[in-house]
Structure 1
Amino acid sequence: MRFLLFLLVYLQTLQAADTGSLLFHGNCTTCHFETKAVSAPSMMEVRKRYLRAFPQKKDFIQQMSEWVHKPNEERSIMQDAIDKYEIMPNLAFEKDVLKEIAAYIYETDFTKHPTTRH
């Protein structure tokens, strides 16, 4: 019985990670390459800045998802990126989707697992 419970929890964790990865790669990598800044800061840089400002996972997810939901220059922790690339457009994602993407970003070290798009 314990093994079955462990297996269910493990599978749900894998599914959540896969969902976050799919959402991230299907949406964010259009502008944010993982390790290279082209038309927007790299996700490696975005993650580093958000981790420095919000090291706790809950805070990281909350702050990132709120900012992406309604990009605002005054609340930005990356003013230099806005100066260089302009402010991120409002993409009209639902908050739950943004939270899943932010959780994926929090948990992913893009320097260790870069995809072919970098």
Structure 2
Amino acid sequence: DFWMALIHKGITLVTLLADITTDALMAYLESYSGLEVLSLSPVNDHHAEAFYRRVLPHHSYSLRKLSIEIKSVGKWCVGPRFLEVLSRCMKLVELNMPIYIIHQPSV
């Protein structure tokens, strides 16, 4: 597999644009830190949890641009659960992704 070959060769990309998310891609992204630009277009929610919990923290000190393009509301949308992880990306200057906000009624 392509992503496993990159892991074994120690190749660490600074920019990555991927149309499909796979277990191997998530393993690759989790194997190093230093990614600056990431663009994903996942077709389903299968890897969203792993991305926010295990992948994004590895790149929180370097990531400048993050784009997650999805067609419907789902686990890839940033909500209260993953907002803290996203807020740790201190160098982030460009964000392109759905934000899911829950409005609480006033008491």
TM-score range, shorter chain: under 0.3
Structure ranking higher in helix proportion: 1
Which is bigger in relative contact order (C-alpha 8 A, separation at least 6)? 1
TM-score normalized by the length of structure 1: 0.22
Q: Rg bigger for which structure?
A: 1
Structure ranking higher in strand proportion: 2
